[in-house]
Amino acid sequence: MADHLERIIVKRKADLSYLRRVHEGRSHWLNVAKLKRRQVCEWRKPMLRTRCERWFLLGLSIGRLLAQPNSGLLLRSMMQLIVEYEHFINYAQKSRKFPPFKWYPSAATSVDDGKSSRETRAQLHKVGRKVIFEHFLAYSVTIPLDYCEIVFSLCEVLSLVYNKLLAQSAMTKSSHEAILKVDTWIKTHILVAMSKHLSDVSRQVLAYQFNKIANNLQNTTIDSAEANSNATKSANVAAVSNRPLPEPPTQDASKLEKNPEDTKSTVNEEQKMPSGMTAERSSKASPEQDPVTAGGALESLAAEPELPA
Q: What is the pLDDT of residues 247-269, one digit of tens each?
A: 556 655 555 455 555 555 554 55
Distance CA 93, CA 15 (A): 29
Which candidate, 106, 59, 114, places its Cα nearest to that of 83? 106
pLDDT tens-digit series, residues 149-208: 999 999 999 999 999 988 876 678 888 899 999 999 999 999 999 999 999 999 999 999
Q: How many CA atoms lie within 13 A of 102 on its CB side?
A: 7
Do residues 103 and 52 touch, judged by C-beta distance below 8 A?
A: no
Do residues 112 and 122 touch, judged by C-beta distance below 8 A?
A: yes
> What are the residue ranges in the chain where pLDDT is below 50?
96-117, 256, 267, 277-279, 281-309
Do residues 35 and 151 touch, judged by C-beta distance below 8 A?
A: no
Residue 149 lies in a domain: yes
Residue 260 lies in a domain: no
Residue 158 lies in a domain: yes
Based on the structure, what is the number of domains in the chain? 1
Residue 91 lies in a domain: yes
278 C-beta neighbours (distance < 10 Å), count: 12
Query: For the whole prediction, is pTM greater than 0.85?
Result: no
Residue 272 lies in a domain: no
Residue 121 lies in a domain: yes
pLDDT at residue 76, as a whole number: 93
Residue 185 lies in a domain: yes
Residue 119 lies in a domain: yes
Q: Which domain holds residue 97?
A: 2-29+50-212
pLDDT at residue 105, as a whole number: 40
